[in-house]
Chain A
Amino acid sequence: MKFLKDFFETNRKHFSEGGRFEKLHPFFDAVETFFFIPGIVTKTEPHVRDSLDLKRFMSMVIVSLIPPLFFGIYNTGYQSNLASGLPVTFMAVSLKGLKIVLPIIIVSYAVGLAWETLFASIRKHKISEGFLVTGLLFPLTLPPTIPLWQVALGISFGVIFGKEVFGGTGRNFLNPALTGRAFLFFAYPMKMSGDKIWTVVSGANYQGVDTISGATPLVVSAAQGTADFIESLLLKAGFTFPKLFFGLYPGTIGGTSALMCLVGALLLILTGIASYRIILGGILGVLFAAFPGYIMGLIHGGSTVPMLSMNPFFHLVMGGAAFGITYMATDPVSAPGMNISRWIYGFAIGVLTVMIRIFNPAFPEGIMLAILFMNLFSPLLDHFEIQFRLKKRVPNV
């Protein structure tokens, strides 16, 4: 590894003060610290420091994103080949998935990193590792048919207006990845919702399109006016509970599989990186909000709003609820910092998600708006919990 060290040593002068690329020092620093933990030593007491740094912290999130990412690549390819009438062998499907997903991720990272570097060099900050998470979370929430220029636009909006205008990582009150997605959702609704966007159709057998419905389970369930049990509606469309749980159905790139999100959530909770309070609170919130409608549906035999009488557990495995609760709601910066607030925050996200799904026909999916909405409330939740806590202290002034 001598040559790597030498490489950084010989090139350091160009990026230091007075060097040719002085302005790009944050970029140089980001690359160097990716390879080497710097030999910085403590200056004051405490003389020792925990081994955990923000790079490790964010790496753990990336690691926990690997299951939904890999599954998402497979699923995207699988849905595409299925719809296009192409072979669905593992290799073919994975390659197809990579072909669709990889450009989206690369664009997301490249454009986002460019903005990060720009802001970091103007502000003379370091480039924060938080971006590595944002840059991967964002593509996973997109439909696979998204045009690449929209990916670039979305991540730009997310990074600039979701984060940097407020001062960068640690000062943003909204989740940057979701901010970018919300921007695309409202700016280009045709590319972000409906039942035609969830599968990339290609290849010779293009006629196959009409025979296969690209509808996501949420679109199916949101169908209004049919006095039928929702489960039978879903079943008609081929969505059984195990299928929904496993996630092999059309949807966002990374958000379809509740199973993979569960794996990621377990990893995040076991390593203590994400707050289990938010995740459990979110799950409880979804179940709590969906339960009364389900009971009423059982008593009255269905409902005019089919979503209302749906089995609460279906809410957890459909759409992006699992992905959002696991990866988006647990972003520590935009979530509350106090423990009871975290329970409330998670719970409210769950409740709001179901409410939006059931009562707002304009939005089949509610998790994105629920999280962004609760992001706004997390400082307030923190404030009240802190005030409550301070009352119990013996004053010391």
Chain B
Amino acid sequence: MNSIRIRKGHDIKIAGAPSCDVEKLGKPSRVALLPERIPFIKPRLKVKVDDRVNVGSPVFEDKRNTEFVFLSPGGGRISKIDYGPRRIVKEIVITLDQDEGYEIFPMISETQLEDIKREDLVQMLIAGGLWPLFRQLPFRNIPNPKSRPPSIIVCMGSKEPFQPVPEVYLKDKGDLFEFGINILKKLTKTLFISASSDRNFVQDPLHSHVTHTCDGVYPADDPGVLLYYIKKHPDENRAWYINGQDVLLLAMLFKTGKYPVDRTVVLGGSLAREKKHFQTRTGVPLSHLANGRGDNTQRARYIVGGIFKGYTASKDGYMGFYETSLVLIPEGDKTELFGFARLGFNKPSKSRAFLSVFNPSLLPLDCNQHGEGRACVNCGFCAGVCPVDILPQFTYKSILADEIEEALDHGLLDCVECGLCTYVCPSKVALGDVLKNTKKAYFLEEL
């Protein structure tokens, strides 16, 4: 096991971490698919409103690559298809039957797995709707099934607040995980499994598969950070990654012959009264998780997928295909008198400009921007937290000056989209957005 020390990054001292308790939630009345949250695809619907679907029936495919099908997370009736601006498909809602029907997929045992050809395995994963669980660095797109990855990185857990912890989602599922790892080993010769070194389960002998432990603050256990630290050659840049929890899904597909919909999700944040893990299913309505478990004294922002990388959802929204976290924190749209002159014992900051440096306790953060936007003053705080040693203050200026080549030289594509540069910027420049959107535009240009 290799230990990697990540020198840069930042852990925000945010209150509201979920406990390791697990509650099994009842069956929701409906589930949904959110095509707009799946990166770089153009959905083409294969169903209409009022069609009936089983768990695992194809619901839509990618126009660019019709191999990629996205399967129904529930059995029942398509009750609503919600379009956004320019007719982007936002939500496909399925009202669940009492007894859901299941599509049947081929089952594979451990011994069969050893003999199966890689191409066949890939085809089975695509048909089983789980291929999109793989993502390719650096653009985090769904990889081309015909390509061979230089390596696959499995990341166990995340230091982003707040994500399910591997101890919980792997509990009693050691065999399943082992099977999932064997599936991955069929796909690649180089498999990296990384975990944060402060997770107890790393020491657990059951999980001796871990190849790298990452020691550091957020985003130390991001696959992009690991790759940045271990790569020696440009050929290694296009590695794939998959979440630890999703490895279980691969195994479940082959063990049960059914499209796996189980997910362990967390509810956290200072406005969640019950902060813990929940066993539920993919595409679950957020209200199913949060109703009765939120603190209604303040207006809450529903963040799906983590504070740094997630997106804002409405209370009537749904969990996406990838997301396993719901965070409720105050919207914070209040003014503050003489805010800049306060001692700031309770004001979280990466800098040492507030007395909060002496405050060891966790603080409730809100979504206030804490100040107006200003011009960049070249303070270099962003470069001080960038885990992959990009110089965001120079890189973003070269992007704004249309010097894309220079930005690429700076390591634009190494950007792990952690959002820390935006977080620390005292001028409130959205550096992360600039880098991320440029990466995205670059990818779409290459497509």
Return the chain B residue nearest A334 by Cβ.
B378
- Our pick among B332, B372, B391 for the contact of A33 (Cβ within 8 Å) is B372
Complex Cα gap A275–B376 (Å): 16
Closest-CB distance, B153 to chain A (whole angstroms): 15
Residue with the greatest number of chain B CB neighbours at <10 A, chosen from A29, A126, A337: A337
Closest-CB distance, B435 to chain A (whole angstroms): 13
Complex Cα gap A29–B334 (Å): 16
Residues of the A chain whose Cβ atoms lie less than 8 Å from the Cβ of B109: none
* Contact code string A1-25 (vs B, CB < 8 Å = 1, else 0): 1001100000000000000000000
Closest-CB distance, A82 to chain B (whole angstroms): 36
Within 354-374 of B, Cβ neighbours of A (below 8 Å) are at: 354, 356, 365-374
In the complex, A124 has a CB within 8 A of chain B: no
Closest-CB distance, B399 to chain A (whole angstroms): 15
- Our pick among B340, B351, B383, B432 for the contact of A46 (Cβ within 8 Å) is B432
In the complex, A301 has a CB within 8 A of chain B: no
Q: Is the CB of B310 within 8 A of A390?
A: no
Complex Cα gap A41–B337 (Å): 16
Closest-CB distance, B239 to chain A (whole angstroms): 11
- Our pick among A42, A54, A390 for the contact of B409 (Cβ within 8 Å) is A390
Q: Is the CB of A53 within 8 A of B391?
A: no
Residues of the A chain whose Cβ atoms lie less than 8 Å from the Cβ of B303: 47
Return the chain A residue nearest B333 by Cβ.
A39
Residues of the A chain whose Cβ atoms lie less than 8 Å from the Cβ of B391: 337-338, 386, 389
With contacts A170-B378, A332-B377 taken as known, whether A47 is within 8 angstroms of B433 at the C-beta atoms is no
Return the chain B residue nearest A5 by Cβ.
B335
In the complex, A45 has a CB within 8 A of chain B: yes
Residues of the A chain whose Cβ atoms lie less than 8 Å from the Cβ of B423: 46, 48-50
Q: Is the CB of B370 within 8 A of A37?
A: yes
In the complex, A130 has a CB within 8 A of chain B: yes
Q: Is the CB of A57 within 8 A of B426?
A: yes
In the complex, B276 has a CB within 8 A of chain A: no
Q: Is the CB of A39 within 8 A of B340?
A: no
Closest-CB distance, A149 to chain B (whole angstroms): 31
Q: Which of B97-105, B125-133, B341-349 contacts A (4 or more CB under 8 A)?
A: B341-349
Q: Is the CB of A51 within 8 A of B344?
A: yes
Residues of the B chain whose Cβ atoms lie less than 8 Å from the Cβ of A51: 344, 347-349, 354, 356, 370
Q: Is the CB of A170 within 8 A of B377?
A: yes
Interface of B, secondary structure class, is loop
Complex Cα gap A382–B408 (Å): 18
Q: Is the CB of A53 within 8 A of B234?
A: no
Complex Cα gap A116–B398 (Å): 27
Residues of the A chain whose Cβ atoms lie less than 8 Å from the Cβ of B366: 48
Residues of the B chain whose Cβ atoms lie less than 8 Å from the Cβ of A29: 372
In the complex, A205 has a CB within 8 A of chain B: no
In the complex, A193 has a CB within 8 A of chain B: no
Complex Cα gap A56–B335 (Å): 15
Residues of the B chain whose Cβ atoms lie less than 8 Å from the Cβ of A386: 391, 394, 410
Residues of the B chain whose Cβ atoms lie less than 8 Å from the Cβ of A393: 389, 409, 411, 414
Residues of the A chain whose Cβ atoms lie less than 8 Å from the Cβ of B312: 47
Q: Is the CB of B339 within 8 A of A37?
A: yes
* Contact code string A269-312 (vs B, CB < 8 Å = 1, else 0): 01111010000000000000000000000000000000000000
Complex Cα gap A54–B427 (Å): 5
Complex Cα gap A130–B379 (Å): 12
Q: Is the CB of A45 within 8 A of B426?
A: no
Residues of the A chain whose Cβ atoms lie less than 8 Å from the Cβ of B408: 396-397
Closest-CB distance, A11 to chain B (whole angstroms): 15
In the complex, B424 has a CB within 8 A of chain A: yes
Complex Cα gap A50–B350 (Å): 7
In the complex, B116 has a CB within 8 A of chain A: no
Q: Is the CB of B234 within 8 A of A396?
A: yes
Closest-CB distance, A288 to chain B (whole angstroms): 25
Residues of the B chain whose Cβ atoms lie less than 8 Å from the Cβ of A39: 332-335, 368
Closest-CB distance, A230 to chain B (whole angstroms): 39
Residues of the B chain whose Cβ atoms lie less than 8 Å from the Cβ of A40: 333, 368-369, 371-372
Closest-CB distance, A90 to chain B (whole angstroms): 28
Number of interface residues of B (CB under 8 A): 78
Residues of the B chain whose Cβ atoms lie less than 8 Å from the Cβ of A44: 430, 433
In the complex, B40 has a CB within 8 A of chain A: no
Q: Is the CB of B393 within 8 A of A337?
A: yes
Return the chain B residue nearest A129 by Cβ.
B374
Closest-CB distance, A356 to chain B (whole angstroms): 26
In the complex, A35 has a CB within 8 A of chain B: yes
* Contact code string B383-398 (vs A, CB < 8 Å = 1, else 0): 1000001010110000
Q: Is the CB of B370 within 8 A of A49?
A: yes
Q: Is the CB of B12 within 8 A of A54?
A: no
With contacts A48-B366, A271-B352 taken as known, whether A337 is within 8 angstroms of B383 at the C-beta atoms is yes
Q: Is the CB of B379 within 8 A of A332?
A: yes
Within 126-183 of B, Cβ neighbours of A (below 8 Å) are at: 138
Closest-CB distance, A175 to chain B (whole angstroms): 12
Residues of the A chain whose Cβ atoms lie less than 8 Å from the Cβ of B394: 337, 382, 386
In the complex, A251 has a CB within 8 A of chain B: no
In the complex, B329 has a CB within 8 A of chain A: yes
Closest-CB distance, B128 to chain A (whole angstroms): 30
With contacts A45-B309, A396-B234, A396-B414 taken as known, whether A169 is within 8 angstroms of B353 at the C-beta atoms is no
- Our pick among B233, B356, B377 for the contact of A333 (Cβ within 8 Å) is B377
Residues of the B chain whose Cβ atoms lie less than 8 Å from the Cβ of A271: 351-353
Q: Is the CB of A395 within 8 A of B367?
A: no
Residues of the B chain whose Cβ atoms lie less than 8 Å from the Cβ of A52: 349-351, 353-354, 370-371, 424, 426
With contacts A36-B339, A37-B340, A39-B333 taken as known, whether A48 is within 8 angstroms of B411 at the C-beta atoms is no
In the complex, B264 has a CB within 8 A of chain A: no
In the complex, B201 has a CB within 8 A of chain A: no
Return the chain A residue nearest B430 by Cβ.
A44
Residues of the B chain whose Cβ atoms lie less than 8 Å from the Cβ of A394: 231-234, 236-237
In the complex, A99 has a CB within 8 A of chain B: no
Residues of the B chain whose Cβ atoms lie less than 8 Å from the Cβ of A168: 375
In the complex, A147 has a CB within 8 A of chain B: no
Complex Cα gap A10–B50 (Å): 53
In the complex, A118 has a CB within 8 A of chain B: no
In the complex, B277 has a CB within 8 A of chain A: no
Q: Is the CB of A337 within 8 A of B426?
A: no
Q: Is the CB of B376 within 8 A of A170?
A: yes
Q: Is the CB of B419 within 8 A of A41?
A: no
Interface residues of B (CB under 8 A from A): 12, 14, 138, 231-234, 236-237, 301, 303, 307-312, 329, 331-341, 344, 347-354, 356, 365-380, 383, 389, 391, 393-394, 408-411, 413-414, 419-420, 422-428, 430, 432-433
10 contacts between A and B (CB under 8 A): A38-B335, A39-B368, A47-B312, A56-B340, A56-B353, A170-B376, A272-B352, A337-B391, A337-B394, A394-B234
Further pairs besides A38-B335, A337-B391: 9, Cβ < 8 Å: A40-B368, A46-B419, A48-B14, A48-B367, A60-B353, A393-B409, A394-B237, A396-B408, A397-B234
The 4 residue pairs across chains A and B that have the minimum distance between CB atoms: A53-B371, A170-B375, A37-B339, A46-B419
